[in-house]
Copies of this chain bind each other. A is one copy, B any other.
Amino acid sequence: MPHNGHRTGRRNQIQAAAEQLFREKGYLATSMRDIADEMHMKGGGSLYAHIKGKEDLLWDIAQEAVRAFFSALEPILAKDISPDQKLREAMIAHVLVITSHLGATAVYFDEWRHLGDVRRAEFMQHRERYERLFQRLIHESVESGALNVRDERLATIYVLGSLNAIRRWYKPGGRLSAQKLAEAVADLALNGLHQP
């Protein structure tokens, strides 16, 4: 019983192939035949035994990225540590989600605009909710006296933008481990918030 909500092994392979192609070439530049090629299928038609359409792939990948970001953030928010410690851990976790989900986060950052209107609106709500959680961490860090920023909204946008940039140049297997890189980038962004 295909495309009824169940997720077969084959279906996940297709989604993984789509992720990589969407990241490399972009959603619109990736044809169903491209995805079929990656699956060693001989024509795009075979894919429709597993999915309802191309946009469903985009949607599922976007949702996977949303899940990954929230799954990384929520346990940190629940910890019993100071707000600024939470903020630093959240920033590191955010970068690690990107480095470990390069395909899905490419959709999360760039390709989501090709979703249909309804899904795009729902997706944007998730992104905004995630952003507010970060802004709250910054707000609480300021209240606790650990952080001193003039404009909390600007600080939030700046921090997330700075962290997100890593997806443009990170390549697995580089001289720095993902963990070390995440810490380095998070500290660069965090230091920026400590005004001299």
Chain A residues near B (Cβ < 8 Å): 25-26, 28-29, 110, 113-114, 150-151, 154-155, 157-158, 160-162, 164-166, 168-169, 184-185, 187-196
Contact = CB atoms under 8 A, between A and B. Distances in A.
A184 B151 contact: yes
Task: Summarize A's interface: helix, strand, loop or mixed.
Answer: helix
B169 A157 contact: yes
Nearest to A150: B184
A158 B193 CA distance: 15
Among A25, A157, A162, A185: residue with most chain B CB under 10 A: A162
A113 to B, nearest CB: 7
A195 B191 contact: yes
